[in-house]
């Protein structure tokens, strides 16, 4: 069925033939008859990495297969969402070890993008094994010990090695459905980075930054850090009686696209000032349900509509530890001076990582949302030069405008990655708008 479709950033909007995955045999037939395609789950990547002339909707392939209660390993089809896993397994005392800022992501999409969140690791650290259909119709069962090269390339491989059918995911045990949270207000970037560097016991941490503050206020922020609450942490008697009960929260909705003029540097400044000063100074402890801690934006349906019909992009870059302390102030100064404005600006520190093509490695990342305007992409091109200067890279799952040079310089294994996908898929069946834009199928870029 041909339809207009876009991902979460609402840019670009394309016409695509959307097919629904129902069985491996049906998928094999589609692959043999279709020149190019890409898998898509719930469409929460921001740009064009899940868009192609033919889209395979994996959400229709979404059943649980088995659960090992002794080891906490769930095996499921690729279209199962993180929300599905939490709904079934939190009441049984299990939780996802890594989750992004939305639970409306499929397992297949989480692996292809190697999503990350408030912990220091990434989702693929906990993928035990997976089944993937290659371009020749062969189904490969792979893990760190079996078909290991294919396994490492598929983790964070943006769906270009094949279509993920099933995966086994390691869960972690929890006593409650609640998080022991601390909020800490920081007066500037130095204070915030010192907090990240001395996290101690905290498993989860992230900080909102006022990205328009300049001078001595640059980097003023609010850190949220948390730990899974144990039963003795719960004070509310209702929570104590039902520690693993999932709290149902009312949802808001953005019913229509906002007009373009609603988001500007003045409204962003006003929002940032109010948010920063609304948070009391010092350290404050709370017990919150896991939805409130991990997924605050999921309470607002269609929040992406606030950026209007032109859509938006999230610019997420990562700098290595060796350059973060010098590079972050330079990039923040550039961002605040450009006047684009971003309601969302999130800073996070990753721990040590050993991934082949995934975004995460040890260092600091900053993510900012920008409405798509004529000026926006030119400013982001300038930011790219600074990110490369400091040895960084951009997150492909959020990207919609990166140039090939940025990809091949930012990802040290980019050429090997492209050589591998060409070997496994010589006809280039698995292609996205992003993979073509970045020249991943053009031998001149990687031979």
pLDDT of res. 303: 86
Instruction: Indicate if the pLDDT at residue 269 is higher than 80.
Output: no
- Give 346's pLDDT tier (boundaries 50, 70, 90): very high
Q: What percent of the chain has pLDDT over 70?
A: 95
What's the CA gap between 304 and 311, in Å, rounded? 8
- The average pLDDT across 334-362 equals 87
Instruction: Indicate if the pLDDT at residue 422 is higher than 90.
Output: yes
pLDDT of res. 402: 97
pTM reported for the whole predicted model: 0.94
User: What is the number of helices (H) and of strands (E) in the chain?
Assistant: 13, 21
Min mean pLDDT across 8-12, 122-126, 276-280 is at 276-280
pLDDT of res. 373: 85
Instruction: Indicate if the pLDDT at residue 260 is higher than 70.
Output: no
Do β-strands 127-133 and 163-170 pair in parallel, antiparallel, or remain unpaired?
antiparallel
Most confident range, picked from 146-155, 212-221, 279-288, 365-374 = 146-155
What's the CA gap between 19 and 39, in Å, rounded? 10
Instruction: Indicate if the pLDDT at residue 251 is higher than 80.
Output: no
Q: Which two tokens stand for residue 178?
A: 């609640």
Higher pLDDT, 396 or 270: 396
pLDDT of res. 410: 97
- Give 307's pLDDT tier (boundaries 50, 70, 90): confident
Torsion (CA) 115, 116, 122, 123 in degrees, nearest 10: -50
Q: Is 78 exposed, middle or buried (0-12, 13-18, 19+ CB in 10 A)?
A: buried
Q: Is 283 exposed, middle or buried (0-12, 13-18, 19+ CB in 10 A)?
A: exposed
What's the CA gap between 49 and 46, in Å, rounded? 8
The full DSSP string for 347-374 is: EEEE-----SS-S--SEEEEEEEEE--T
Q: What percent of the chain has pLDDT over 90?
A: 78
pLDDT of res. 266: 66
What's the CA gap between 372 and 310, in Å, rounded? 6
pLDDT of res. 227: 97
pLDDT of res. 105: 98
Q: Which two tokens stand for residue 312?
A: 């938006």
pLDDT of res. 263: 64
- Give 289's pLDDT tier (boundaries 50, 70, 90): very high
Q: pLDDT tens digit string along 2-44?
A: 899 999 999 999 999 999 999 999 999 999 999 999 999 999 9
Instruction: Indicate if the pLDDT at residue 437 is higher than 90.
Output: yes
Helix or strand or coil: residue 232?
helix
- Close Cβ partners of 234 (under 8 Å, ≥ 6 residues apart): 176, 178, 240, 243, 287
- The average pLDDT across 124-129 equals 97
Q: Cis bond leading into 248, ω under 30°?
A: no
pLDDT of res. 125: 96
Do β-strands 393-394 and 312-320 pair in parallel, antiparallel, or remain unpaired?
antiparallel
- Helix-helix angle 321-338:376-389, to 10 degrees: 160
Instruction: Indicate if the pLDDT at residue 440 is higher than 90.
Output: yes
Q: Which two tokens stand for residue 98?
A: 């890594």
- Give 364's pLDDT tier (boundaries 50, 70, 90): very high
Helix or strand or coil: residue 431?
coil
Mean pLDDT, the chain, rounded, equals 93
pLDDT of res. 277: 73
Q: Cis bond leading into 12, ω under 30°?
A: yes
Instruction: Indicate if the pLDDT at residue 249 is higher than 90.
Output: no
Q: Which two tokens stand for residue 406?
A: 């940025």
Instruction: Indicate if the pLDDT at residue 380 is higher than 70.
Output: yes
- Helix-helix angle 321-338:189-197, to 10 degrees: 150
CA angle 293–298–302, rounded 5-degree value: 155
- In angstroms and rounded to an integer, the radius of gyration of the C-alpha atoms of the chain is 21
pLDDT of res. 392: 98
Instruction: Indicate if the pLDDT at residue 354 is higher than 70.
Output: yes
Instruction: Indicate if the pLDDT at residue 69 is higher than 70.
Output: yes
Higher pLDDT, 391 or 2: 391
pLDDT of res. 338: 81
- The average pLDDT across 126-130 equals 98
pLDDT of res. 403: 97
Question: Residue 198, Cβ neighbours under 10 Å: how many?
Answer: 8
Do β-strands 163-170 and 94-95 pair in parallel, antiparallel, or remain unpaired?
unpaired
Instruction: Indicate if the pLDDT at residue 224 is higher than 90.
Output: yes
Q: pLDDT tens digit string along 163-206?
A: 999 999 999 999 999 999 999 999 999 999 999 999 888 999 99
């Amino acid at each position: 069925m041909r339809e207009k479709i876009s991902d979460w950033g609402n840019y670009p909007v394309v016409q695509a033939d959307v097919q629904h995955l129902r069985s491996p045999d049906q998928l094999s037939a589609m692959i043999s008859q279709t020149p190019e395609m890409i898998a898509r789950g719930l469409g929460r990547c921001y740009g064009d990495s899940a868009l192609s002339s033919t889209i395979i909707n994996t959400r229709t392939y979404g059943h649980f297969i088995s659960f090992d209660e002794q080891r906490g390993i769930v095996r499921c089809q690729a279209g199962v969402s993180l929300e599905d896993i939490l709904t079934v397994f939190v009441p049984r005392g299990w939780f996802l070890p890594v989750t992004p800022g939305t639970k409306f992501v499929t397992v297949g999409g989480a692996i292809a993008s190697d999503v990350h969140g408030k912990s220091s690791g990434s989702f693929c650290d906990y993928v035990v094994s997976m089944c993937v259909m290659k371009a020749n119709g062969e189904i490969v069962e792979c893990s760190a010990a079996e078909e290991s090269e294919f396994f490492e390339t598929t983790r964070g491989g943006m769906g270009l090695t094949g279509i993920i059918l099933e995966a086994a995911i390691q869960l972690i045990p929890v006593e409650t459905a609640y998080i022991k949270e601390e909020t800490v207000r920081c007066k500037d970037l130095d204070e915030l980075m010192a907090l990240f560097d001395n996290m101690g016991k905290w498993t989860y941490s992230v900080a909102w930054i006022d990205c328009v503050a300049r001078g001595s206020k640059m980097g003023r922020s609010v850190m949220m850090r948390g730990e899974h609450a144990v039963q003795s942490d719960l004070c509310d008697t209702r929570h104590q009686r039902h520690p693993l009960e999932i709290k149902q929260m009312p949802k808001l909705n953005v019913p229509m696209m906002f007009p373009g003029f609603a988001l500007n540097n003045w409204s962003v400044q006003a929002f940032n000032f109010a948010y920063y000063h609304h948070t009391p100074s010092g350290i404050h402890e709370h017990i919150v349900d896991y939805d409130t801690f991990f997924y605050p934006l999921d309470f607002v349906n269609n929040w992406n509509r606030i950026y209007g019909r032109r859509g938006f992009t999230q610019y997420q870059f990562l700098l290595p530890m060796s350059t973060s302390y010098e590079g972050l102030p330079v990039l923040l100064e550039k961002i605040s001076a450009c006047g684009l404005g971003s309601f969302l600006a999130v800073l996070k520190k990753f721990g040590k990582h050993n991934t082949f093509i995934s975004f995460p490695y040890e260092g600091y990342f900053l993510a900012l949302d920008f409405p798509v305007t004529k000026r926006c992409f030119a400013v982001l091109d300038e930011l790219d030069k600074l990110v490369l200067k400091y040895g960084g890279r951009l997150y492909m799952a959020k990207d919609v405008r990166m140039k090939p040079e940025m990809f091949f310089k930012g990802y040290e294994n980019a050429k090997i990655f492209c050589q591998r996908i060409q070997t496994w898929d010589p006809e280039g069946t698995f292609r996205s708008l992003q993979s073509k834009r970045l020249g991943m199928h053009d031998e001149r870029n990687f031979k």
